[in-house]
Amino acid sequence: MNRIYELQKKIETARHELDEALLQENRFEYYYEKSTRLDKLIEEYLESQEGVRV
């Protein structure tokens, strides 16, 4: 369960970073990097949740 909590915190941080990146309108690469990181964290979280349910 600690792993899931850790992933939740990382996702919250990544969402905040993505919001900040969006404010920097001319930095598409930076926004894309943050968006990709968030996607990977969410994917990892969902995989962890599947393991808990089994």
pLDDT in the model for residue 45: 93
3-state secondary structure of 52: helix
pTM of the model: 0.72
What is the Cα–Cα distance from 34 to 45, expressed in whole angstroms? 16
Amino acid at 23: L
pLDDT in the model for residue 6: 93
State pLDDT tens for residues 7-33: 999 999 999 998 888 887 767 888 888
Mean pLDDT of the chain: 86
Name 48's Cβ contacts closer than 8 Å, sequence gap at least 6: 3, 4, 7
Band (pLDDT 50/70/90 cuts) for residue 1 is low
